[in-house]
Amino acid sequence: MAALSRKWDPLFVLVLGSLVFSCKGDVLKTSNDRTESISATKIEESSPQAADLGDLRQSDEAESNEDRKAFTPPPPNDQFQEEMVIRPLYSGDIYASFQFRTQWDTDFLHDGKKVSHYRLFPKSLGQVLSKFSVRELHISFTQGYWRTMQWGQPFIPSPPGAELWVWFHHTVTDVDGNWKELTNVLSGIFCASLNFIDSTNTVEPSASFKPLGLGNATDHRFLRYATLPREIVCTENLTPWKKLLPCGSKAGLAVLMKSEKLFHSSFHSQAVHIRPVCKDWQCTSTAWELRQTLNVVFDLYTSGQGKKEWSLFKMFSRTLTEACPLASSSKIYVDVTDNPGGELFDLSPSSPLISTAVVLGDRRTYSVYDLTKKETFGQLRSLNLLLRWKGESDDMLRPPLHAERYVSGFGLQKGEIHTCLYNSHPYRAYPVLLLDSLPWYLRLYVHTLTVTSKTRENKPSYIHYQPSKDRLRPHLLEMLVQLPPHSVTEVTVQFERALLKWTEYTPDPNHGFYIGSSVISALVPSIVAMDTNSTRDRPLFSSFFPTKEESSYFMRVYTEPLLVNLPTPDFSMPYNVICLTCTVVAVGYGSFYNLLTRTFQVDEPSAPLAKRLANIIRRLRGVPLL
């Protein structure tokens, strides 16, 4: 039995790999047939939007681009949507997630022609995409760690620090060179230390990161993945990020992004995702999608004297007055799933629009506020959402998968990394892909790798291991582990801490070295049927990871980054060490030299001084010498 299941394991890797993200036409067709019966996402909203928007856009162009009147106006081949989701968390915190989506119907990779007209799509990113032949680009900057057990799952997960992963176009010959230049350019665009990404922290994962957009590229030679766990995210990263928005921070949802409030939070994550997508559901033409997301968790419970209430003004010290004029849709969603009858909390002003969407394997209900409509803002011409709790909420549904990681052992010689994977599903077992990228100065011993679940050995069915090269390449460990239902699976591996050259340490060497998060990717069994049509009009937050099948959805979990101490030399005395060691070598050389070049001779002591003087006098006097 065991042998049989092991036989099927490689096949499973392939199936999972192809299922996760690929966007093949035939799969798409079959799923389209089914959409009628599923109707997982149901959005009750008006359709006259499009006409409205057309007017808006034209009037806006007329106003702002008077000087460009001489040119023929380009056809409006791009559109912009903005959206905010507010989810009250069970811990009392508030989770606010912004998503801005710019879709651009151009294809500068296939056409080969140069694109010089940019409208909504930021030119700085467009040029980067075409210069480096980027197929997909995902970059995130995160401050703080997402606590899955307290907060549930985020809409778009991200590890602490900076994360960058890029799929290059398959025509690129020098991928490493492009990657190097790209990281430096992005470092300039986002004012971040991405220029510290080099070969020592870049890996090519074989299975964990598949393209999220069009195309089922599987050749991981065109993929580069790097994290900087120590990167600190602050205002200087937010400002360039805001500048990429068509409205900047002048109008629309972006007015809420005041850095003094955003960074006074438990968790802050901003990201940019660029990928090619289908323009329509038949996928006849493609478009570039730029998604800018910003996730923030406010701890209003403790700072608000234990009162569970929040408002837009309390969170952002701003209220909303208008949508971004360039946006084709601008909405705020508030998660009211747990409050069907209004007994748990009051939301004011209340909204007549209710939307349900299948998000992360669960059907959720949202109150929708459409900012493009005048009546949303009411008499005061400003929208300040306010929520007051009336009762106590019950326990949160445990997320089906979460993970934690720690280093065990003492001393500075060796250690052991433990990764615990929790499958909370009561009866379904599912496989997860675990990716670990460890820097070379933790010398990993892969023969000490053990995977145990329920006190029994759980042999990974697929292991991809790339050993490190000193000062050149990190370790890459990827494996496919089957998680039994309702269990904890512990993955341990031993390592040795290297002594580095004194110039290789960080400025505060005794603080320790940050080791990036492990990445756990899984297809998790879903409670309700997932919506498999990727082109239907759904809320942005529910449609980031494409879904291939109804019964499961894709989930990515990041573990904590580790802080590992290494033995340190004494930084104050390089001169002393050089002098002392050279002295010892010289002692060796000197004594051998002495013995090699000299010979033994009988020591004929010279006469004492007095005697010699006396002899000189005696010689002068002509008497016999002494």
- Which residues form the interface with other proteins (CB under 8 A)? 410-414, 440, 443-447, 463, 465-471, 475, 496, 498-503, 567-570, 573-574, 577-578, 580-581, 584-585, 587-589, 591-592, 594-596, 598-604
Nearer to other proteins, 127 or 565 (CB): 565
State the nearest-atom distance from the C-beta of 224 to other proteins, in Å.
19
Residue 140 CA to residue 319 CA, distance in Å, equals 27
Residue 394's CB: how many other CB atoms inside 10 A?
9
State the nearest-atom distance from the C-beta of 446 to other proteins, in Å.
6
One DSSP character per residue, 510-538 reads: GG-EEEPPPEEEEEEEPSSPPP--SSS--
State the nearest-atom distance from the C-beta of 413 to other proteins, in Å.
5
State the nearest-atom distance from the C-beta of 6 to other proteins, in Å.
16
Check whether the bond before 569 is cis (ω within 30° of 0). Answer: no
State the nearest-atom distance from the C-beta of 503 to other proteins, in Å.
6
State the nearest-atom distance from the C-beta of 574 to other proteins, in Å.
4
Nearer to other proteins, 327 or 493 (CB): 493
Nearer to other proteins, 51 or 584 (CB): 584
Residue 495 CA to residue 412 CA, distance in Å, equals 11
CA triple 500-503-507, angle to 5 deg:
100
Could you tell me whether strands 134-143 and 267-278 are parallel, antiparallel, or unpaired per DSSP bridges?
Answer: antiparallel
Nearer to other proteins, 232 or 499 (CB): 499
Nearer to other proteins, 11 or 573 (CB): 573
- Strand boundaries in 200-285, DSSP class E: 202-203, 223-228, 267-278
Nearer to other proteins, 236 or 496 (CB): 496
The amino acid at residue 407 is V
Determine the 3-state secondary structure of 58 from DSSP: helix
Nearer to other proteins, 97 or 494 (CB): 494
Nearer to other proteins, 268 or 464 (CB): 464
State the nearest-atom distance from the C-beta of 602 to other proteins, in Å.
4
Instruction: Answer left, alpha or beta for residue 517, where phi above 0 means left and psi between -120 and 50 means alpha.
Output: beta
Residue 45 CA to residue 40 CA, distance in Å, equals 15
State the nearest-atom distance from the C-beta of 626 to other proteins, in Å.
13
Q: Do residues 279 and 166 touch, judged by C-beta distance below 8 A?
A: no
Instruction: Answer left, alpha or beta for residue 108, where phi above 0 means left and psi between -120 and 50 means alpha.
Output: alpha
State the nearest-atom distance from the C-beta of 207 to other proteins, in Å.
16
Residue 201 CA to residue 442 CA, distance in Å, equals 13
Nearer to other proteins, 231 or 478 (CB): 478
Q: Do residues 255 and 125 touch, judged by C-beta distance below 8 A?
A: no
Residue 207 CA to residue 14 CA, distance in Å, equals 9
Residue 40 CA to residue 528 CA, distance in Å, equals 9
> 515 forms bridges with which residues in the sheet?
562
